[in-house]
Structure 1
Amino acid sequence: MNQFEEQTIFEDLKKGKEQAFEQLFKRYYQALCTYATQLLQDDDAAEEIVQDFFVKLWEKRNSITIETSLKSYLFRSVKNHSLNRIKHEKIKTQHAQHVIAEAEMNDYDDQFLEVDLKKDIEESIAALPEKRREIFRLSREEGLKYREIAEKLNLSVKTVEAQMGLAIKSLRDKLKKYNSFIFFLSCFRKKAV
């Protein structure tokens, strides 16, 4: 295709003549895909880039100005789109690696904290006076209500409530270094009678 033919096709394209667009597409599509594949090393991505380019070429046909040959414009545009895709993929990969690294680091920190917290909770419960510890375990581990604990241990409901209050206060004081009162309170909140 000589420069005059290119100029004619380009002028017809700008006027919205679909025949000119089809001519360009048939003439350059495969060559542009091959070129994009060399840049991207990915056939599917290359085809996607070239198809997107042709869509944009049609949509923006009225505002396009070509200072070189039409062929040069087409290949330069596909090259720019391909390089943008490579940069975008590189940024996505770097971001994904950063997120994975951060998640792994946080997971280990959380796991260590959780192990320490569980250990300290168990030690704090074990340090409670025997009857208080028994009431606490019946409430929190076996899920018994205060009334059921009172009946089982032959105590008043008020005594069970008082012992649970003291147990929670003691645990809260011993575990305050974890600074997670919301978590703590939600795990050890008072059960209904």
Structure 2
Amino acid sequence: MEPFNDQGTDELLIWRAFKSGDEAAFGEMYRTQVQALLNYGNKINPDRQQVQDSIQDLFIELWNSRERLKDTTSIKFYLFRSLRNKLSKLSKPDHSFPLDNAYETVSDPSVTFYFFDHEIESERIERLQKTILKLSRRQQEAINLRYFHDFNNEEIAEIMGLNYQSACKLIYSGLKFLKENVKLFTFIMLLFN
């Protein structure tokens, strides 16, 4: 089989090639999805080794049962849902959902002129991270899936084992809480600057 390109790849064709035993298709699935799976898995389970082992087990199970799998048009969605199910069977999830490195500043702290702006931006980022930690674990996970992994609400509902309306409410209430709290912080910062 010829190598797949990243743009315009028809996931159904890759999936079907994988199901028929094509090792290049299987390798392409792994190569394009493993980093996103590691990032997502580490957000819902603090044990990095357990996440890595679960991903390895997931791909071994996929290969061994490939002929019995149904078709999918979204490999990423299928893998995220499978990993979440696998990790939730292993342990109770942590009640926090760290988003470290999700909100890094782009300011250059070595430039003196930008130091003050950088400090304010760092305070805002720190405040946003603290506010995010006040969300429920499920709100954090839903927002992470929506804005950092580009899943739609229907896919989020299925990944998290919720109905569609519940997924929408989780995202809406989480964003509303963040918006209200970040606005308040911004207002306070303006008063003191």
Query: TM (normalized to structure 1)?
Result: 0.42
Query: Larger % of helix: which?
Result: 1
Structure of higher CA gyration radius: 1
Answer 1 or 2: higher relative contact order, Cα 8 Å, separation at least 6.
Answer: 2
